[in-house]
Chains A and B, each alone.
Chain A
Amino acid sequence: MEKREFTVANEYRFNRSGPLRWIASHILRYPWLPAATALLAILVSVLTSTNSVLVGRAFDLVAAPGTTPAMVLRAALVILAIGAGQGIAQLVRNLAVEMLAQLVERDARDELYLSLLGKSLTFHGRQRIGDIMARATNDVHMLNLMISPGLVFIFAALVGLIVPIAAIPLNLRWDLLLSPLVFVVLFVITLRRYVRELDPVVTAGRERFGLMNARLAETIEGIQVVKGSAQERQEQNIFLENARKFRDMYVLQGKIEGRYLPLLVLSVTTAGAFLHALLLYRQGALTVGQVVTYMGLLRLLGFPTFISIWTFALIQQGVASARRILHLINTETELDENPQGVARPIRGEIEFDHVSFSYDGAPVLQDISFRANPGETVAIVGETGSGKSTLTKLVNRTYDVTAGRVLVDGVDVRDWNLASLRSQISAIEQDIFLFSRSIADNIAFGAPETATMEDIRRAAQQAQAHDFIMGFANDYRTEIGERGVTLSGGQRQRLAIARAFLTDPRILILDDSTSAIDSATEDEIQKAMRRIMKGRTTLLITHRLSQIRWADRILVLRRGRLVDQGTHDELLARCDAYRRIFARYGVAAPASDQKSA
């Protein structure tokens, strides 16, 4: 069983060893639906062929001496009944397969979603949300289309090829099989060639369309740069070039589609069959009605011929989608719930012991060692990409170290029970994420069952959020997001701090990269942050000099290495990079007491 961070009871297990097996296991979860579909598809084909035979018989009936209009009426009524039966069978077949298709879409989405919940944050950090959305929406829907109409049509085409041909020896003569069998052989050969030829062109066309679109979107979003530097001509040329590349594929696709050989094969073999029938008819070996039956049965072969133009593409796309979904589901995740691990209250001591970390083979952190005592604030400074956030993410096991150890209260984080560890560490991320729910629900997110309204209000007050919340028309019941209010960066941050107050963690990871553009908000955030950090061990990534200035310890990171650590005054005295930050304030190098400008 694979490692996961989240599981549910009674989960249905699908076969994930390959896309085809996976699709099959999804379809076979409801065995009676594909079985009914198959049986009904055969029934439809049999009834259709029967109708051709009956129409032929009606011809013979009329040709025979002594036939009365009543007998013709009876023949027509039988044809009507068979026709209606065929329609009904087709209807039920469609309903069954549609249900199957929708069930598979639902289950596949469920399976994918559940597996996403179980993945580690390492995985999610690596995965672009756009890709995940494409899997969960387009690809899952492609599975649906692959089953209905894709698979059902392919099956119907197969049956529609076999049943009419099988009806020939049963109702007519063995030797009339000659042309239809020649057709089948040539059909398979030409169809294969067609699919092989068309496939790469369609794929290339789609890619080129995407390329054209992507560049266009970029140009339009960056229009100010384009116009501001008078580069319209350059952009027009790029667009024209991309559009022309797509056009070439479009034209090529039209050429290949126009050259669909199975159609020619069908009409030529039909001509051959007609010749054969005429000769036999002249000899008296066939009746008029039998010729009509024969030609009627051959006409039925048109259905598989026509729909093969596009159904195979659906299957191919479906399998490709299944492969992509499965790839996502099967991606290994490194962490698990570790239910047997250490579970106890944390005091708040953090130690990095020669920690190195690589991401996709590229070193991000190298040989980092430092220590934070319970209740201390450690500020981490460095350029974007120097490894600051990665460093903090090793503490709550968003990632695991590549070498060295991260210890919390002297115990390696990998030996902690994951739930116990994480529930005592609060991370306030750089991009504060709020759900499209009420403000109260967002604050109570970490403790939805236990938090009372009173708790929520107290947390908001601590986080300096109460006042602005009361400013909204529906105070704590105000919806956030598209349907509700839009919050500023500073407001979001204070809600996140309130969220953390409510769970009362021992260790706090604060990735504070929002900046207040006005001084009043800055005051509020200063207060909220000081309060939440008090009494908790805090790893603080911040752009606020006022926070860095007063941290118990400052780590200076550069390209994944710890270049220096110490207090503000120590660093000002000995670290060039650090001094440069304060250079524009005219802060002189050595410490002591002459700091104000």
Chain B
Amino acid sequence: MGWMMDGLESDRYDRTYGDLNLVRRVLAYFKPHWKAMAVVVLAIVCDSAVSAGTPILISWGIDQVAGQMSNATIALIVGIVLAFSGMAWVFNYMRWRISARVVGDVVLKLRQDAFAAVTQRDLSFYDEEPSGKIVSRVTSDTQDFSEVVMLVLNLVSQLLMVLVLFAVLATINLRLTLVLLALVPVVIGLALSFRRFARSVTQKARRVLAKVNALIQESISGIAVAKNFRQEAAVYKDFQRLNQQAYRVNLIRGWTLNTIIPLLEITVGVGTALIVYYGGIVSLRGLLTPGQWYLFVQAMYHFWGPLTSIASFWSQFQDGLSAAERVFALIDAEPKVVQVAAEPVPKLEGRVEFRHVHFTYTGREVVLDDFSLEIRPGETVAIVGHTGAGKSSLARLIARFYEFQGGQILIDGHDIRTFDLAQYRRQLGIVPQEPFLFSGTVMDNIRYTRPEATDDEVRAAARKIANGEWVELLPNGLLTDVGERGGRLSMGQRQLVALARVVLADPRILILDEATASVDPFTEAQIQEGLEVVMAGRTSIVIAHRLSTVENADRIIVLRNGRIIEEGTHRSLLAAGGHYAELYNTYFRHQSLEYIEQARLLAAGA
């Protein structure tokens, strides 16, 4: 019976849009479909009218027969009942059919808009919002919204039918109608007071369920440890205790939720008894025909359904609006990265220049202040520094992922803000620390940044990285399925794919955030060879973690707190014995051959 309880359990979402604005916004999406919606409304009205007509006709028929009616009249009554039944079904079908299509289209448009909005956001948006939340806004919230629309339509049709019935009843006997109406606040009051109670047990149940899930997730993820140490019994005991607790809490919830319907049934029983009594008394006085009395009894059954729905409806409606609001908030958010023009970008030389750049992510902590740097075309620059020194920020600003607050960034002498972003980014190659692959084959992934490339071009690009040896080791070569998020490839293999991507796209400027994750020595050797290939002949900005990279860079930029404190080559900087020498001892020393050779002594001395 959970379906009836759904609305009774949820919390109201705090909204920032006014109700009216929101409704207006929602209606705007329905506007292109107004003709279809008009038909739906019409179908609902007709459906309600004919559905209410059937009990009315039956009651009329009962009274007619008392007067010994002819075959023709009987045929007419039954004929009309039959016609009404058929019409009700057809109207109902039209309503479902058309509204499903309209809602399907509206939700599609809403999803399309939401997704388009998502892809237009700059990366600061993705830092603030967990990806799961974004996904649920685009898919689940829009889904919730569509359910509420269907719910509204459903409820409106039920309500209309009850209204028609009541109007007819009121003309027959006002006092009896009032008796029926007196039950309305009782039913609604019951459902509402119950709602608060149901919410608290549901929250408890949700919490305990989360605990059970966490325990199962953790213990099964760590099953190898449990098995290696033969601790299955202890693990099982923990589980049993929690599972029993979950059972108890869920039982209380289930029992609570299951009382409401029987309680309402009892009210219906009371109502029926009242109608039978009052109706009987009034009939005895001859003020009510049997048919009319019958109609009152029927109305009793018809009206309690919509009433209980109304009680739960309001919160469900609020939820639907909140869901819609979350979607609109996504669509309406202002992007922070703003291009002042969209000038076409010719083939770049690759000169990158920072001029007095001021940059902060949050507005509070300043990452770069009055930062200036010039990188020549074709130069390989290694950027080193402690965590938080501003290394990645440099790379992100060049990629135009974030907006900077002061100064200028010039690419080949042009202000980066005047570029057509898509054209500009196509001339950038970005290799993040943990390369991201999409499901599909290795070939699809290499091609991702240049979808028009031919198979031969992809193959050639793959061969350029470490002689293509890594491809031979894949189970199906370039046609190997990489799995969700590239999960079937090792981290090292993913890096090789990312390097091949760069070779294929042949960008003018390469931004490389070197991986810190360790890779098996064979693959590592291949990556090293691949790196040399991709850095050749283009401007390369490398956030360096590998000793070989700093050793081979044209220039090393040493960053501390957003400032360049040293620059030069590996040898010159090491000889100077400044901050770089300290960084070397902290991050690079253990990658040297000397360290490898001395490892045995080091451990022996411990």
Contacts and interface: CB of A to CB of B under 8 A. Distances in A.
Contact of B484 (A214, A232, A434, A577): A214
B163 interface: no
A67 B284 contact: yes
B89 A59 contact: no
Contact of B269 (A82, A149, A419): A82
Contact of B95 (A77, A229, A258, A583): A258
Contacts of B421: 230
Given A91-B262, A243-B112, 9 more contacts: A121-B227, A254-B104, A274-B61, A278-B78, A383-B492, A448-B231, A519-B589, A548-B521, A584-B525
B362 interface: no
Contacts of B225: 429, 433, 435, 445
Contact of A114 (B61, B224, B236): B236
B293 interface: yes
Contacts of B597: 549, 595-596
A423 B226 CA distance: 11
Interface residues of A, number: 170
B280 A255 contact: no
Going nearest first, the 9 A-B pairs with the smallest beta carbon separation are A83-B269, A254-B100, A258-B96, A515-B518, A267-B85, A384-B490, A546-B599, A530-B603, A87-B266
Contacts of A270: 54, 81, 85
B520 A258 contact: no
A275 B451 CA distance: 70
B27 to A, nearest CB: 20
A5 B100 CA distance: 52
Contact of A213 (B139, B251, B492, B602): B139
B236 A8 contact: yes
B606 A530 contact: yes
Contact of B518 (A69, A383, A543, A546): A543
Given A90-B261, A218-B484, A585-B593, A384 B492 contact: yes
A99 to B, nearest CB: 6
A530 B520 CA distance: 20
A520 B586 contact: yes
Interface stretch (A23-31, A101-109, A348-356): A101-109
Given A227-B401, A423-B230, A110 B118 contact: no
A383 B492 CA distance: 9
Interface in A258-314: 258-259, 263-264, 267-268, 270-271, 274-275, 278-279, 281-282, 288, 291-292, 295-296, 299, 310
A5 B518 contact: no
Interface string B224-241: 111111111111100110
Q: Is the interface of B mostly helix, strand, loop or mixed?
A: helix
Nearest to A6: B232
Interface stretch (A132-140, A368-376, A465-473): A132-140
A422 B230 CA distance: 8
14 contacts: A91-B263, A99-B251, A102-B247, A114-B236, A117-B223, A228-B428, A257-B96, A259-B93, A278-B74, A429-B224, A517-B545, A522-B590, A530-B604, A531-B606
A76 interface: yes
B246 interface: yes
A149 to B, nearest CB: 5
A163 interface: no
A426 interface: yes
A255 B266 CA distance: 36
A532 B240 CA distance: 36
Nearest to B262: A91
Interface stretch (A12-20, A192-200, A234-242, A399-407): A234-242
B152 to A, nearest CB: 15
Interface in B250-301: 250-251, 254-255, 258-259, 261-263, 265-266, 268-270, 272-274, 276-277, 280-281, 283-284, 290, 293-294, 297-298, 301
